[in-house]
Amino acid sequence: MILPDFHFLGVIEMINDEFKQQLYDYHDKGYLHFDFPISDNEKGQLIANLTREKVITHRFLPFISFEMKFKKYQNNPSKLTNKNRKISLPAHHDALIYKAYSLPLASAYEAYVNRKEISEIAIAYRSKKHMSNITGAKEVEDFICNQDRAWIIKGDFKHFFDNISHDVLKKSVKTVLADDYGKDWEKVLYSLINRKTIKRSDITKNLKLAGIVRPFRHGKQRAYVKNLKQLGYLIKQGNLTPSKKENNNGIPQGTAISAILANVSMIFFDESIRNLVLSKHGLYRRYSDDFVIVIPGDYSLEEVKKLKNTVIEQSERNLGLEIEDSKTKLLEYVRDEKNVQEISPRVRASTEFDYLGFSFDGKNVRLRSKGVYKFVYKGRKAINKLVTIERDRYHIQHGTELVVTKVLKYSRHSSKRWRDRSFAEQERYLKRIERERQDKDSSVYGTVHKQAVQMYLSMEEKMPAKSMLAYAIRAQKIFDSTNHPEYEVKVKQQILHQIRKNQLKLGQSRKLFKN
């Protein structure tokens, strides 16, 4: 593909092929919105013709918001809680502009933090630094273990993206961009901090009242309205009512520019805390809304508590971000004792230092328990699904599918036991059997089997990069790369142990229906 020569944005002349290629590689997610998803041909034209002037006059559309439910994993795989996360989707053409503006801003941010010598502070959202949660965790663990004694302050900024100060954000962006900050940037920031939003549930309901019963189509692409003129008419008639953000804080998560804006908003705080911590020969690192400070044990407990309070006060005063004192942990590491203790107003107690998905107890580095429980829970679901299909196939092959009328279930106050299926359970079972009969080429079984094996059952190291074992192997190699003498890494061992349990569960489950 020949890339057109173009210049736009003014932040950095977009003449380098890397920026161009990143824009062309940007993948439209295709979700349903007020405008149609952008085709590759249209994307090329938009990129080639994008100028500062066009952005200044561009009409940004309302965000579409909805709540997504997801499972929150506790320290017990049988105890899951549902949590809602608010999602805000920009229009497709707006999303492309956000992506375009994120590229030069990220480059300007890297140049700024290098000049200020704070490049190592922020770990998240730094593709050019090739940083990850694994390398970030190892750096902190190594720094801790290089001390005879160390104080650890671990905290987070409450509702980080929702509470980013607009004044701080604009000041930070202007500082990073310097002379390249113009009216186009004001328009982009205005579209985010003063965004208008329409709830997805209201759209569907109100469009039906306006006589629009289904989305409009262009080929395979869909949109809620035929064009922007129709959208304007529906808003004018009151069929759609965008709500305007009314406070001075927060940016939406999930746009292509949100992550780099979050890092940019922290430049003054990061520099201030870095200087404060360096004066005590310590280490300060931040991963999005999580931060950690490590101070050598030469300093007294009172000095460390004072430092913690200073960080909390500066965050609230200078950023408008709350760091909850009650949730900010103060830990102590003692090398000779191979121990980490939490220091609370009442007691000292042995604990683990959890950071970026890993836990450290003073002598061992493991995956954080929540991450392992997530693997356990998903593995259990995948294996149960596989066993269900295999059991149904077995009974179909042996002509016993209609004979089986009992089901193995937990009762409320005892272990699993066999009981007769209820009428509803029998109906679901018969429908499932019929679907299995229709799967003559075993495509469904093949997909389920492949996923279960690759993700939760195989111990082969050449697994998909997204598998938990591949992640554990990668983490093990990174932690072992310098072979720190003060701790042992048991990450790979953890996952292999769970895979063995998964294999045992699969074997036992197969025996139940074959015997």
Residues 478 and 414 occupy one common structural domain: yes
Answer yes or no: is pLDDT of 14 > 60. no
Q: In this structure, is residue 98 part of a structural domain?
A: yes
Residues 326 and 383 occupy one common structural domain: no
User: Model confidence at 415, in pLDDT bands (50, 70, 90)?
Assistant: low
Q: Are 341 and 150 spatial neighbours (Cβ–Cβ below 8 Å)? A: no
User: How many whole angstroms separate alpha carbon 66 and alpha carbon 74?
Assistant: 25
71: helix, coil or strand? Answer: strand
User: Model confidence at 77, in pLDDT bands (50, 70, 90)?
Assistant: low
Q: In this structure, is residue 140 part of a structural domain?
A: yes
Q: In this structure, is residue 469 part of a structural domain?
A: yes
Of 362, 382, 413, the last residue of a domain is 362
Residues 329 and 304 occupy one common structural domain: yes
Residues 208 and 333 occupy one common structural domain: no
Residues 38 and 178 occupy one common structural domain: yes
Of 362, 393, 415, the last residue of a domain is 362
Residues 293 and 312 occupy one common structural domain: yes
Collect all residues with Cβ–Cβ distance below 8 Å to 169 and sequence separation of at least 6. 189, 193, 251, 261, 264, 265
**CATH code, domain with 316:** 3.30.70.270
Q: What is the model's pLDDT at position 16?
A: 55
Q: In this structure, is residue 356 part of a structural domain?
A: yes
> Higher pLDDT residue, 118 or 408?
118
Residues 154 and 95 occupy one common structural domain: no
- Domain count across the chain: 3
Residues 356 and 376 occupy one common structural domain: no
Residues 158 and 29 occupy one common structural domain: no
Q: In this structure, is residue 447 part of a structural domain?
A: yes
Q: In this structure, is residue 1 part of a structural domain?
A: no
> Higher pLDDT residue, 405 or 485?
485
Kind and range of the H or E run holding 482: none
Of 203, 237, 271, the last residue of a domain is 237
User: How many whole angstroms separate alpha carbon 240 and alpha carbon 203?
Assistant: 7
Tokens 């063995």 locate to: 500
Residues 155 and 57 occupy one common structural domain: no
Q: What is the model's pLDDT at position 384?
A: 94
Q: What is the model's pLDDT at position 313?
A: 97
User: How many whole angstroms separate alpha carbon 352 and alpha carbon 124?
Assistant: 23
Q: In this structure, is residue 123 part of a structural domain?
A: no
Pairing of strands 80-89, 221-223: unpaired
Residue 299: DSSP 8-state = S
Residues 295 and 420 occupy one common structural domain: no
User: How many whole angstroms separate alpha carbon 70 and alpha carbon 83?
Assistant: 6
70, two tokens: 């997801």
List the single range of 49-63, 260-274, 419-433, 445-459 with lowest mean pLDDT: 419-433
User: How many whole angstroms separate alpha carbon 189 and alpha carbon 432?
Assistant: 52
Q: Can you give the residue range of the structural domain that contains 463? A: 370-514
Mean pLDDT to the nearest integer, 110-132:
91
Residues 190 and 154 occupy one common structural domain: no
Q: What is the model's pLDDT at position 1?
A: 34
Q: pLDDT tens digits, residue range 318-363?
A: 999 999 888 899 999 999 999 999 998 777 899 999 999 999 999 9
Q: In this structure, is residue 394 part of a structural domain?
A: yes
Q: What is the model's pLDDT at position 8?
A: 42
